[in-house]
């Protein structure tokens, strides 16, 4: 079984490389190192959010509120930074993460303790968090000149000519990889998603893990709140609207099964990279931006169909054994 999943990641990787080469033939500028590093920068937030969404999907749930959470945390720290521009940027990053975590915990509590189904909860908080942004900001935007210099400077820092954003994504990738593959927490997540009843019998506290999973998802949404606002140097009520669906598509394309318990960190990252590549490559090969949504929709569908086919085959082999 591990072979098959590894194989799948390899296929995805080959598709990405093949895609880059194809686009490169059509438009040589696209494969310049600077251009490729832009693609990576552009995809970093998606990678981070996809990896945190993966934790939630692993336990058979979905967090639809990430984009609203991101926008709310981003807006709150932006407003604060206009009032206290002298505070160090690290303070804002930590604060953003804390706000995000708090919003995530609210989701988790509603699902685990109030027993409100996850779709209902996260649909509800999707509107509530989005609505609160209007509430705290009065519908106004925070423009680039209103941020302090240090707030925006960090994001432009480069290391080995790759952006700060990309290195954050790499860091999150490493943390997630260790968390899911080498800790008890990760193993328990997989078992909860694979078979919740059995997991409960061996003593895994489901409620605890649900709340933890949603807090992690919220934490990274908060982190991305800072990253997003700093990168585009604008905080408005509209930022990242609808981005939760892009994140879920990245997970699905990356082979994370919505039936829970199946999926790898590498696959998820590759899924995000493929979506990021498509978003960036279409303009490079002169396909109108307007086709982007339809093409990503088609790719999601194809990816799901391929995923389920391999999964169903696996089920059959188990039954025969």
By the rule CB under 8 A, 283 interacts with another protein:
no
Contact pattern for another protein over residues 246 through 265, marking x by CB under 8 A: --xx--x-----xx------
Say if residues 216 and 104 touch (Cβ distance below 8 Å): yes
Q: Which of 290, 318, 320, 321 binds another protein (CB under 8 A)?
A: 290
Contact window for another protein (CB under 8 A) among 14-22, 181-189, 217-225, 296-304: 296-304
Please, what is the minimum distance in Å from the beta carbon of residue 133 to another protein?
A: 8
Please, what is the minimum distance in Å from the beta carbon of residue 282 to another protein?
A: 11
By the rule CB under 8 A, 125 interacts with another protein:
yes
Q: Which of 29, 91, 135, 157 binds another protein (CB under 8 A)?
A: 135
Contact window for another protein (CB under 8 A) among 81-89, 122-130, 183-191, 223-231: 122-130
- Give the bridge partners for 163, in sequence order: 158
Contact pattern for another protein over residues 226 through 245, marking x by CB under 8 A: -------------------x
Task: Please tell me the distance from the alpha carbon of residue 292 to that of residue 252, in angstroms, as a whole number.
Answer: 18
What are the backbone angles phi and psi of residue 142, rounded to the nearest 5°?
-105, 115
Q: What is the footprint of another protein within residues 40-99 (CB under 8 A)? A: 62
Contact window for another protein (CB under 8 A) among 28-36, 124-132, 181-189, 210-218: 124-132
Contact set with another protein (CB under 8 A): 62, 110, 113-117, 119-121, 123-128, 130-132, 134-135, 139, 245, 248-249, 252, 258-259, 288, 290-298, 300-301, 304-305, 308-309, 312
């Amino acid at each position: 079984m591990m072979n098959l999943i590894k194989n799948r990641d390899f296929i995805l990787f080959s598709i990405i490389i093949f895609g880059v080469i194809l686009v490169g033939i059509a438009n040589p500028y696209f494969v310049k190192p600077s251009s490729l590093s832009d693609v990576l920068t552009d995809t970093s937030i998606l990678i981070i959010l996809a990896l945190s969404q993966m934790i939630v999907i692993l336990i058979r749930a979905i967090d639809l509120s990430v984009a609203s959470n991101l926008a709310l945390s981003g807006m709150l720290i932006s407003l604060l930074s206009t009032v206290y521009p002298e505070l160090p940027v690290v303070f804002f990053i930590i604060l953003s993460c804390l706000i995000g975590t708090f919003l995530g915990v609210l989701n988790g509590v509603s699902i685990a303790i109030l027993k409100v189904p996850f779709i209902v909860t996260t649909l509800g908080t999707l509107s509530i968090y989005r609505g609160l942004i209007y509430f705290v900001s009065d519908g106004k935007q925070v423009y680039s000149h209103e941020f302090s210099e240090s707030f925006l400077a960090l994001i432009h820092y480069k290391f080995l000519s790759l952006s700060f954003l990309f290195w954050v994504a790499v860091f999150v990738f490493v943390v997630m990889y260790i968390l899911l593959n080498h800790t008890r927490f990760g193993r328990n997540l997989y078992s909860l998603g694979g078979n919740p009843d059995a997991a409960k019998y061996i003593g895994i506290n489901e409620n605890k893990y649900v709340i933890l999973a949603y807090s992690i998802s919220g934490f990274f949404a908060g982190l991305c709140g800072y990253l997003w606002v700093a990168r585009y140097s604008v905080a408005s009520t509209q930022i990242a609207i609808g981005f939760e669906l892009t994140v879920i598509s990245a997970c699905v394309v990356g082979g994370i099964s919505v039936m829970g318990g199946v999926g790898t960190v590498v696959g998820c990252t590759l899924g995000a990279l493929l979506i990021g590549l498509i978003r960036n490559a279409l303009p490079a090969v002169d396909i109108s931006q307007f086709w982007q949504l339809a093409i990503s929709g088609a790719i999601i569908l194809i990816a799901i169909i391929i995923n389920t086919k391999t999964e169903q085959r696996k089920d059959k082999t188990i039954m025969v054994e």
